[in-house]
Structure 1
Amino acid sequence: MMPSCFFAHGAPSIVLENNAYTELLRDFARGHARPKGIVLFSAHWEESVQSVGVADTFETIYDFGGFQEELYSMTYPAHGDRALGDEVLRLFAEKGIKSVSNDKRGLDHGAWAVLKMLFPEADIPVVALSVNRHLTEAEQYGIGQALSSLRERDILIIGSGGTVHNLRRLNWRAEGAEPWAEQFDNWLQEKLEAWDTEALFRYMELAPHAKDAVPTSEHFIPLLLAMGAGDATRQAKLLHRSYQYGNLSLSCWQFN
């Protein structure tokens, strides 16, 4: 069965970097079966109704400023998959989750930067999915859970975001993690590995430094979505964790 995964996308410039995390992403395909399609939730696509992106060929969105010039010439012309998109819509409908199709929107950097490292040839069809920060944690998990059967059909489900993502507290000179960021991620690791959804759904009140780690929830949500997609097997494995600028976490979780 194909896993579901959470990948932190960090700063847009991560696609230009060479470090332990980018090496893991670039080597990911070697250790896994080739997916027949990819369903990806990006923290940078927010909608009040669950949206399902099914463009014939996705445009590359440069939703950032002030980074290296070469980033703005990069493209990731992934093809959409309308049949897979229709299946996603059907699965949502079965669970009473309202969703709509979108054939106009391209891939933001939360999607294409990760995909470019995972599958640089852009030769695997993609269905892009939005996130909604106004739902409960249990509802987020349920959205991922609704898609879990796709894993049996060799569809890779990805949540792209960041467990610790506080741009106001970035330390541009930091090497390694700020203690508060690491304490939050340590708590998160414990609860994920125990598959303690009761605690995870209350992370904002139970986890240390949660308000600093998750000042807004859109980057955290993809973790719950990817975890929900792994509900059938409930095995969480941390593949990597490091940090940019003191608190911007670069973590990879695999749910088997």
Structure 2
Amino acid sequence: MMPSYFFAHGAPSIVLEDNAYTQLLKKFKEQTPKPKAIVLFSAHWEEKVQAIGAAETFETIYDFGGFQDELYQMTYPAASDRALSGLVQSLFAKHGIQSVINEKRGLDHGAWAVLKLLYPDADIPVIALSVNRYLSNEQQYQIGQALGELREQDVLIIGSGGTVHNLRKLNWRSQGVDEWAEQFDNWLQNKLESWDTEALFQYHEQAPYAQEAVPTSEHFIPLLLAMGSGDANRQAKLVHRSYQYGNLSLSCWQFN
């Protein structure tokens, strides 16, 4: 069964960087069986009704400003898979989740920056999925759970976001790690590895420094979505964790 993953996408410039985290992403395809397709939830696509991106060929969305000129020349012209997008919609319907197909929207940087590091040739069909910050954390988990059986069909499920993501607290010159960020991620690691969904669904009330780490939930949601897709076996593994700018977490979680 194909594992599912959560990848932090950091700043848009991550696709140009060379560090331990980007090296991990670049080697991913060598260490993981090639999937038949990729289903990816991005923190940067928010809709109140679950949307399923199914463009024939995805355009590249530059949803950021002030970064290197090279970023605005990059493209990721992945194709979608109409049959798979229909299957995703049917699985959502089976679990009582309303959804709509969107054949026009391209891939935002939460999607393409990660995918360009993982699979630079853009030769694997992609289904892009939105997130909805107005649902409960349990509902987020259930959305991921609804797609879990896709893993048996060699479909790679990815949540792209960030566990500690507070742009107002970034220190662009920092070489260290803020203690509050580590404390939040340590709590999170404990609850993920023990698959303590009761605590995770209440993370904003229970986790230390949750308000600082997750001032808004859209970047955290993809973690719950990816985790939910691993509900059948309930095994979580921290593959990597590092930080940029004092507290921006770059983490990878694997769910088997």
TM-score by length of 1: 1.00
Gaps of 5+ in 2: none
Match of residue 52 from structure 1: 52
Output the aligned Cα RMSD.
0.4
Match of residue 104 from structure 1: 104
Matched, 1:242 2:242: yes
1:76-119 per-residue CA deviation (whole Å, 9 max, x = no partner) reads 00001110000000000000000000000000000000000000
Match of residue 25 from structure 1: 25
Match of residue 227 from structure 1: 227
1:169-225 per-residue CA deviation (whole Å, 9 max, x = no partner) reads 001111131000000000000000000000000000000000000000000000000
> Deviation of residue 29 (structure 1)?
1.0
1 CA distance for matches of 2:153 and 2:168?
A: 41
Could you tell which deviates more after superposition, 174-183 or 98-107? 174-183
Aligned residues: 256
| Equivalent position amino acid for 2:28 in 1 | F
Indicate if the aligned counterparts of 1:176 and 1:242 stay in contact, CA closer than 8 A.
Answer: no
Match of residue 15 from structure 1: 15
Gaps of 5+ in 1: none
Matched, 1:126 2:139: no
Matched, 1:82 2:88: no
2 CA distance for matches of 1:242 and 1:253?
A: 12
* Matched position secondary structure for 1:254: strand
1 CA distance for matches of 2:35 and 2:207?
A: 34
Structure 1 runs of 4+ aligned residues shifted over 2 Å read none
2 CA distance for matches of 1:175 and 1:85?
A: 42
Match of residue 115 from structure 1: 115
Match of residue 67 from structure 1: 67
| Equivalent position amino acid for 1:29 in 2 | K
| Equivalent position amino acid for 1:18 in 2 | D
1:9-48 per-residue CA deviation (whole Å, 9 max, x = no partner) reads 0000000000000000000111111000000000000000
